[in-house]
Amino acid sequence: MTKYIFVTGGVISGLGKGVTSASIGAILQMMGETKVTIKKLDPYLNVDAGTMNPIEHGEVFVTDDGTETDLDLGYYERFLEIGTTQHNSSSSGRLFQKLIEKERAGCYLGKTVQMIPHFTMMIKEFICYNPEEFDYIICEIGGSVGDIEAMAFYEAIRQLKNDIGSQNILFIHLTYLLYLSATKELKTKPTQNTIRDLQQVGIIPDILICRSEIPIPLKIKEKLSLHTNLPIQHIISAIHVPSIYQVPLNFIGEGIHSILLNKMNIKKKTLNTLKWKKLNQQILSLTEERSLTIGIIGKYTELNDSYKSLLEAIFHAGIYHNYKVHIEWINAREDTYFLLQDMDGIIIPGGFGLTGIENIISLIKKVREAKIPTLGICLGMQLMVIEFFRHILQIENIGSEEFGNKHPNIISQMKDISNQQMGGTMRLGKFKIQLNKSRIKKIYRTDIIHERHRHRYSINKEYSNYFNDRGLMIVGKACENNIIEIIELNETLHPWYIGTQYHPEYQSSPFNPHPLFLSFIQYCINKIK
């Protein structure tokens, strides 16, 4: 029978439930359990994350099937090296939408539709849906215990314990121990309160994971044990670490794998930590003597999580090449040309809207002329094309339909995409791409690739004949509709200048860095040698 592990949080949001859930999944894999997946329940009323501001919520992560999700699904994929789909993520809004559709269709036969049992049943159905017959389903509950938006989630998982038996469920609660630097002491009262809140909704945690700035003394664990009725061994210290990839091994060091063995009735197997130990040794070996700086010209630089997958993909490539990579944020709305002179490479990531666009185009021109290795992603690629057409082909005022440009438009809205409804209407998910003979084909070492997309606009194919003659080449097209997917500046004109309509960062992991980022970082290294 499938076993379930629920990860909840308290005291404050943003504690790292996603990393915690991913780490638990990784530990199960190290114990020989291969049929593991993770799901995320978010309490917000948006149907999905697609229309949410990345500065407020972080990046929108896109799955193979085109589901726009919370960034935590990126952690799940990177840690466990698994794919995720719409079955791995849901919001209150999405579940309410389905509930109302069922009510309108008469599925409830005239009954009064209520939060309990109807909405909680929708939640349980989502959690337990198991088409691939996973042995372990880890479920992260978004927000913090006590949030009114998430109360139905807690009620649903309380009910599940009775539905499937306590022997098949384990509750992990993540909390924060406040550290008062003035008195140099950890305060446990907020954690005691959040445990009380959890108990009041009928859930008693099996494991308490305590985030802390300093190691947790035994006396603090004893105090928490007294107030929570948990054995001391079940109170896990989670101090701040330089790399999130240290977390699984730190949990093992705290003995969490033994608790999982006992509580989940797992047959004892050899704990294979070799892959993770090797990864962390590589991370610890990175030094300033072998370092470089990558500039990111972004629209959402106020919050690093807006580009979480991108930062991780850069980091993965750096680890592979044994180079420490520093990030220099370049605000798209500011004149920051002076920063470019110290960059070993430039990335222009995706985004939406007119703000900062003309400044980015101006910066791209300077980057191209300075022959700095450059990667443009989605909007970044589109702006690279606009810059080339304006300054090399001398087509004045050429732009994008997205920015209200009337004519001419090198970037146009795709014909089968509607503006009438914003959520879930873009070109989303994984699509097949045919590569031409070029540097990009050498990078991928194949003719066909599959990459994930998230865009509403694309290069106007009517301008295809303008490419190639002056050095900007079309080197990849979508197999299903010939959408221009990859552009590349001839090697004689620039050492490394590539733009992609897709988002390669979504498919990078520390154990399998994306080839495009590996090549990009390699050329950045070549630049400084």
Between 334 and 167, name the one with better pLDDT.
Answer: 167
Shared domain check, 216 and 86:
yes
Asked if residue 153 and residue 104 are part of one domain, the reply reads yes
Same domain? 154 vs 290: no
Contacts for 165 with CB less than 8 Å, ≥ 6 apart: none
What DSSP letter does each residue of 188-233 carry, written as one string?
-HHHHHHHHHHHHTT---SEEEEEESSPPPHHHHHHHHHHHT--GG
- With contact defined as beta carbons under 8 Å apart, do 266 and 41 qualify? no
User: pLDDT value at position 419?
Assistant: 65
Q: What is the model's pLDDT at position 424?
A: 72
Q: How far is CA 141 from the centre of its chain?
A: 16
Are residues 439 and 494 located together in one domain of the fold? yes
State the greatest distance between any 2 C-alpha atoms of the chain, in Å, as a whole number: 75
Residue 303: inside a domain: yes
Considering the domain architecture, whether residues 332 and 468 belong to the same structural domain is answered as yes
Residues 20 and 152 in one domain: yes
pLDDT value of position 444: 96
pLDDT at 355: 84
Calculate what percentage of the chain has a pLDDT beyond 90.
72
Q: How far apart are CA 28 and CA 271, in angstroms?
A: 9
Residue 522 lies in a domain: yes
CATH number of residue 349's parent domain: 3.40.50.880
Instruction: Kindly state whether residue 196 falls inside one of the protein's structural domains.
Output: yes
* 114 within some domain: yes
Is 497 contained in some domain? yes
Express as a percent the part of the chain with pLDDT over 70.
Answer: 98
Q: For 427-479, write each residue's pLDDT tens digit.
A: 999 999 999 988 999 999 999 999 999 999 999 988 888 888 889 999 999 99
If asked whether residues 347 and 488 sit together in one domain, one would say yes
Together in a domain, 299 and 274: no
Q: What is the pLDDT of residue 421?
A: 67
Q: What is the pLDDT of residues 117-136, one digit of tens each?
A: 999 999 999 999 998 899 99
- With a cut of 90, say whether residue 284 has pLDDT above it: yes
Are 240 and 293 within one domain?
A: no
Chain centre distance of CA 151: 25
* 506 CB burial (10 A radius; 0-12, 13-18, 19+): buried
pLDDT in tens, 298-332: 888 888 889 999 999 999 999 999 999 999 999 88
- Tell me if 28 sits within 8 A of 192, measured CB to CB: no
User: Could you read off the pLDDT of 232-275 as tens digits, one per residue?
Assistant: 999 999 998 989 999 999 999 999 999 999 988 888 778 999 99
Least Cα distance to 59 among 311, 229, 227 occurs for 311
Dump pLDDT digits (tens) for 353-398.
888 899 999 999 999 999 999 999 999 999 999 999 999 999 988 9
**61 vs 57, more confident:** 61
User: Which residues contact residue 110 at a Cβ distance below 8 angstroms, ignoring those fewer than 6 apart?
Assistant: none
Give the pLDDT confidence score for residue 418 in this predicted structure. Answer: 65
Segment 20-30 shows an average pLDDT of 97
User: Do residues 376 and 339 make contact, with C-beta atoms less than 8 angstroms apart?
Assistant: no
Which two tokens mark 502? Answer: 């897709």
Number of neighbours of residue 453 by Cβ within 10 angstroms: 23
378, 387, 514, 524: which is the annotated catalytic residue? Answer: 378
273 and 346 both lie in a single domain: no
pLDDT in tens, 156-175: 999 999 999 989 999 999 99
Same domain, 446 and 328: yes
Of 133, 40, 131, the residue nearest 90 (C-alpha)? 40
Q: Which helix (H) or strand (E) holds 5?
A: strand 3-9
- Tell me the per-residue pLDDT of 336-357, one tens digit each, with 9 for 90 and over: 667 788 899 999 999 888 888 9
Residue 2 has pLDDT above 90, yes or no: yes
Q: Any catalytic annotation for residue 505?
A: yes
Average pLDDT, the chain: 92
CATH number for position 151 = 3.40.50.300
Let me know if residue 258 belongs to a domain: no
Domain count, the chain: 2
Residue count of the chain? 529
Examine the pLDDT at 422 and tell me if it is beyond 70: no
* pLDDT-based confidence at residue 152 (cuts at 50, 70, 90): very high
The residue range of the domain holding 352 is: 286-528
433 plus 473 within the same structural domain: yes
What's the pLDDT score for residue 407?
77
Within-domain flag for 417: yes
Reply yes or no on whether the pLDDT at 420 is more than 80: no
Q: Are 212 and 177 in contact (CB under 8 A)?
A: yes
Tell me if residue 407 is catalytic. no
**For the segment 170-203, what is each residue's pLDDT rounded down to a tens digit?**
999 999 998 888 888 888 899 999 999 999 999 9
Which entry of 173, 316, 455, 503 is annotated as an active-site residue?
503
Q: Whole-prediction pTM value?
A: 0.94
**Burial class of residue 201 (count of CB atoms within 10 Å of its CB; 0-12, 13-18, 19+):** middle
Q: Look at residue 177 and tell me if it is in a domain.
A: yes
Catalytic residue among 387, 505, 514, 524: 505
